[in-house]
Amino acid sequence: MSRLAPVAESAALAVLLLLGTACGSRLPESDFEHRSTPTPPGGTAPIRVGIITSATSPVGGSAFTGPRDGAKAYFDRLNSRGGIDGRLVEVRLCDDGGSGVGNNECVHKLIDEDKVVALVATTALDYAGASRVSHARVPDIGGQPIGAAYDTYPHLYGIYGSLSPRSGTPGWGGKLYGGTEVYHYFKRAQGARTAAVVSYNQSASAAYARLVTQGLKAEGYKVVSEQVDFALPNFRAAAADLKDQGADLVFDAIDTHGNAQLCKAMDDVGAKVIAKVTNVQNWTSTVPEDYKDSPRCRNALWATGSSRNYEDTGDAAVREFRDATKGLATHSQWQVEGWAAARWFADAAQSCAGRGVTRACVDGFMNRGEPYTAGGLLVPVAYERLAKPPKSRRTCLSVARWTDGRGWVSQGDMNANCFEVPQLPYRP
C-alpha cells in the first residue's frame, strides 16, 4: 500500500527550505522557456506538457532540478520512439525562481497561454498557483509534496498519493497524517532502541524535531534531543553527547551543510551509530563530495523513500532510466521520481489516444481508482478521498545504505519492507 503522507520527505524538505531562505539569498527573476503560440489539437500535433521547477531559488540551483531532469529524460526517450500514438510530447519548462509570484506567472504562462494538457513533476518552493491549477482542472501529475497542495486540491496528484478529501483545505481539518514506518523499520530490522534528534534553535527546525520525536516515541524509542545554535552551532558537543548516551540512530532537522558538519563531528569524537538517517532528497550520487571529511559517518548513511533505488540496475525499469540518463553528471532518487511522473502522464495520455488527449481525459485516468507503480519504480500509489483519516495503515518502504565503492545498496525489496503502523497528525 502507498504511504499516507510522506512526513520525512515533505516536512524535512520544508525545514531545509526555511533554513535556506533564512540565509537571505536574493530571488532571481523567473525564466520562461519556449515562448510560442499554442499548438492546435488533434492530428499529429505535439502533445504539450509543462514542468514548473524552482531551478533558481534561495536554496540553491541544484536543490529542485532532479524531478525535472528525470521527466525530461523520459520524454526525450519517448519521443525517440515515436511519442504517443504518433504524436511527440512537447515539453515547456518554467523556472518560478522559488517565489510565489514567479510560480503564479508560470502557472498563467503554461495553462492560459501555452495551453498545456498537464503539468508533470512540479517541484516548487512556493506552489502559490496550486489553487489556480485546480480551478482550471489541469491535472498536475507526480509533483513533489514540498507543501500541502497535493493534500488540499483536486486535480493535483503528488508522487506519493493521498487519501485526503482534497476539498480546498489541507488534509482533515487542517491536519495531515503520517506513519511511523521509518522508525518501525530500524527498530525491527536493525534492533535500534535509542535515537538522537538534532535540530537548530530555530522555529521550523524545532517543530520538525518535535514531529520526529513524536513518531520515535510512538515506536517505543528512547529519544535523545540535541539542539544547537543556528548561528554558531556546536556540533562537536552534540556529537559527544549522543555518543555518551548510546544513540543507535541519528535523525536531524538541519540543512545539508549542517549535516556535513554534524557527520564530521561524529567522526571526530568517535560516535558510531547503526544509521545516520536521511531522506529521499539527499539520496544522490554526490555523497562522497558532500561528506568527504567524514568517512565513518558517510558509510552509516541510510535513506528511506517510496521509489526504487536508482542503483538497482538489475530491475528493467531502473536500467531503462539509467540508460536514458547516462549523460547526466550525477544521479538521484528525485530523478527517478521525475521519470516516473513523466511515465505516469504518458500512460494516461496513451489511454486517451483513441478519443483525444485532453485535460479531462488525462484527469479521468488519474482518478480511476487503481494503484499506480510506473512499471515497478514506485510503491503502489493510490488516491482516495476518505472522510476520516485512518488510525493505522499498512505502509511499504524503500531503504538503502551508502557504502563506499558500491554507492546506495538496497536493503530488501521495497514491496516487502511493509508494516502496519499508526498514523499521527501534524499541521503543515
Give 84-112 as a 3 state SS string. ECCECEEEEEEECCCCHHHHHHHHHHHHH
According to the model, what pLDDT value does residue 395 have?
Answer: 95
Q: With b meaning 16 or more CB within 10 Å and e meaning fewer, what string describes 348-375?
A: bbebbeeeebebebbbebbeeeeebbbb
Q: Quick check: 214 pLDDT over 50?
A: yes
- CA distances 282 to 129, 159, 256, 322, 406, Å, are 26, 17, 8, 18, 17
Q: Quick check: 27 pLDDT over 50?
A: no
Q: Quick check: 367 pLDDT over 70?
A: yes
Q: How far apart are CA 274 and CA 195, in angstroms?
A: 10
Grid cell listed for 230? 543556528
Pairwise pLDDT comparison (331 vs 32), residue with the higher score? 331
Q: Quick check: 90 pLDDT over 50?
A: yes
Q: Quick check: 48 pLDDT over 70?
A: yes
Q: What is the pTM of this model?
A: 0.91
Give the type of residue at 269. V
According to the model, what pLDDT value does residue 170 have?
Answer: 96
Q: Rounded mean pLDDT of the chain?
A: 91
Position 159 confidence tier, pLDDT thresholds 50, 70, 90: very high
Q: Phi/psi at 297 (nearest 5 deg)? A: -65, -40
Mean pLDDT, residues 183-203: 95
* Torsion, CA 368, CA 373, CA 378, CA 383, rounded to 10: 10
According to the model, what pLDDT value does residue 351 have?
Answer: 97
According to the model, what pLDDT value does residue 63 have?
Answer: 82
Per-residue pLDDT of 253-304, as tens digits, reads 888 889 999 999 999 999 999 999 998 988 999 999 999 999 999 999 999 9
The distance of Cα 74 from the centroid of its chain, to the nearest Å, equals 18
Q: Quick check: 86 pLDDT over 70?
A: yes
